[in-house]
Amino acid sequence: MADTLADIALYLQRLGHDRPPPPTLDTLRALQLRHTATFPFETLSTLLRAPVPIDLPAIQHKLLHAGRGGYCYELNRVFLALLRQLHFDARGLTARVVMGGPEDEPTARTHLLVLATVEGQRYIVDVGFGGMVPTAPLRLDTEDVQATPHEPYRITRRDGVYTLCSRVAGEWRALYVFDLQPQADIDHIVGNWYVSTHPDSPFVGQLRAALTGPGWRRTLNDGSVALHRPGHASERRSLPNAEAVITVLQEAFGIRVPDVPGLHAAIEARLRAAPHSTS
């Protein structure tokens, strides 16, 4: 897959830059924070069991022209291409998601993230991890607690395997584990194929959305929408029907919901299947 962004000027404008910024840590911080607040995590395509192409022209069209968001193989894929085009030293890594389960569970490599080396330091960069996406680069070679504009994070290492954790409601929660094994484009293609098509994938036939803002995170899980603010109880409400879900996706997440056959029925099916789901 080619790494050249045809729409880099428009992409940078959406991220608050009229011209290419220098490849500095300040730039990386600003781009990551703005990205997570501009391009929502969303799974409308997998809800509809539609193909999820991850070539750069398809991702750029979806994000920059169709008013959509995406998941890790789209958001981190295009962000990695942007960093490379801005002359950052960056490459993709894959992770095993363990959030909600034991850290040693042998899950598949289904999450794409970015390793960037800036000013002599290695950082983990991620703009595609849904409701718990880090909103700042995280230094790889330290186990210290690291502040972000949202929750604190830390990265632990054992036998060459790293675990990314976040502190939520006073407790440390493991999100995913990863190593530094080099990844080729085919690894991303296979991972994306699994996530978007396999019946055991947590995204196939499911509806998820997430977006960040100053001091808040907003998530949607099927028919439940929630606002999370550090130090406050989450504010949740259930949505009664597909029309309400679509309105929230449009107004609260900034998603241009496509007018495609089967969408209302797919959302209604999720509401019936998980009427008490939470984000």
Would you say 179 and 173 are in contact if contact means Cβ atoms under 8 Å apart? no
Confidence band for 153, pLDDT divided at 50, 70 and 90: very high
Listing DSSP states for 2-65 in one string gives ----TTHHHHHHHTT-SSPPPSSHHHHHHHHHHHHHHS-EE-HHHHTT-----SHHHHHIIIII
How much is the CA Rg of the chain, to the nearest whole Å?
Answer: 18
Domain map (residue ranges) of the chain: 201-273
For the chain, the average pLDDT equals 94
Q: Is the pLDDT of residue 231 over 90?
A: no
Confidence band for 199, pLDDT divided at 50, 70 and 90: very high
Which range (100-104, 123-127, 227-231) has the least confidence?
A: 100-104
Would you say 188 and 95 are in contact if contact means Cβ atoms under 8 Å apart? no
**pLDDT digit string (tens) for 58-115?**
999 999 999 999 999 999 999 999 999 999 999 999 999 999 887 777 789 999 999 9
Looking at domain 201-273, its CATH class is alpha beta
Active site residues: 72, 111, 126
Structure letter (DSSP) for residue 63: I
What's the pLDDT score for residue 279? 36
**What is the average per-residue pLDDT within 232-261?**
96
- Read off the pTM: 0.95
Which range (28-32, 201-205, 246-250) has the least confidence?
A: 201-205
